[in-house]
Amino acid sequence: MAEGPILLEAREVTVRFGGLTAVDAVCMQLRAGELVGIIGPNGAGKTTFFNAVSGVVAPTSGHLFAEGVDLTGRGPHLYAAHGVARTFQTPRVMVDMTLTDNVRFGMEFAGRRREPIAGLRSEHEILDMLGLASLADRPASDVTPSQQRLLEIGMALGTRPRVLLLDEVAAGLTEAEVDAMARRIRRLRDEHGLTVVWIEHAVTTLLKYVERVLVLHQGRKIADGTPGEVVRNAEVVEAYLGDEMVEVE
């Protein structure tokens, strides 16, 4: 486990929509340099939890801290200003703008006061790392859906985050594209020092690359450990993974 400072913390975070409890008293600490996966079945609360820890939705109860600052109930721009960036299941790119301008938008969203990420200081360096440099002057509408997913990661990197939250960035990709995406995610941590949290349904691939896994089920956190620990957790197997965990193991 990482021993660095805590960059993002959720304390007993609960999110309710009317009578539905989507996230139920979930706790999480993310330290500098961690590479973490979040898994769970549809309806487990994964995306709602991401929405809470990035300021998209306010928690019904509990507290959220980024870089030690209590941001509970504050908006996404303040989370971005404190080093938290995220992507969405459906890429939110500006299709009429060039790829370069999309990344520049991310830079302006968080402001340029944050320290640049080593090796990712400019729009070109970000696009180059993602394999998009040759398309820099093309409008986002001209690139493939998988390239738009990469571009949204580029926009998130433009905010100069310390914590990057990735919501199913491999959805709809081919097996080869999923593996390439996983390698890029690992590089963001290994080469650029980011803390990365990755929600993914491609469980087998995710568990090969992450070092720690949180499992959500019916809004609750039922496991938090290494991939090896999680695949042997009886509650996880019973609640969700079953035969798929045998394959991973």
Residue 67 lies in a domain: no
- What is d(CA 63, CA 240) in angstroms, rounded to the nearest whole number? 28
Share of the chain above pLDDT 90, in %: 73
Residue 95 lies in a domain: yes
Residue 66 lies in a domain: no
Show the tokens assigned to 167: 């919501």
The SS3 of residue 117 is strand
- Residue recorded with tokens 């303040």: 78
Show the tokens assigned to 138: 């093309």
Residue 209 lies in a domain: yes
From residue 136, how far is each of 12, 17, 65, 107, 147 by CA, in Å?
42, 41, 35, 16, 11
Domain that holds residue 87: 34-54+75-248
Q: What is the pLDDT of residue 248?
A: 52
What's the structural domain count of the chain? Answer: 1
Nearest-CA neighbor of 84 among 1, 148, 6?
A: 6
Q: What is the pLDDT of residue 239?
A: 77
Residue 156 lies in a domain: yes
Provide the CATH number for the domain around residue 99: 3.40.50.300
Show the tokens assigned to 178: 């999923």
Q: What is the pLDDT of residue 116?
A: 81
DSSP 95: T
- CB-CB neighbours of 73 under 10 Å: 12
Q: What is the pLDDT of residue 194?
A: 96
Share of the chain above pLDDT 70, in %: 94
Residue 25 lies in a domain: no
Per-residue confidence at 12, pLDDT binned at 50, 70, 90?
very high
Residue 103 lies in a domain: yes
Condensed to tens digits (0 to 9), the pLDDT of residues 158-180 reads 999 999 999 999 888 888 888 99
Position 246 pLDDT exceeds 50: no
Show the tokens assigned to 9: 């913390």
- Residue recorded with tokens 């093309």: 138
E strand segments, the chain: 6-17, 20-31, 35-39, 61-66, 69-70, 84-86, 163-167, 195-199, 212-217, 220-225
Condensed to tens digits (0 to 9), the pLDDT of residues 64-113 reads 999 999 999 999 999 999 999 999 988 899 999 999 999 999 888 766 66
- What is d(CA 10, CA 1) in angstroms, rounded to the nearest whole number? 18
Residue 63 lies in a domain: no
Q: What is the pLDDT of residue 245?
A: 52
- In this predicted model, which residue has the larger pLDDT, 244 or 52? 52
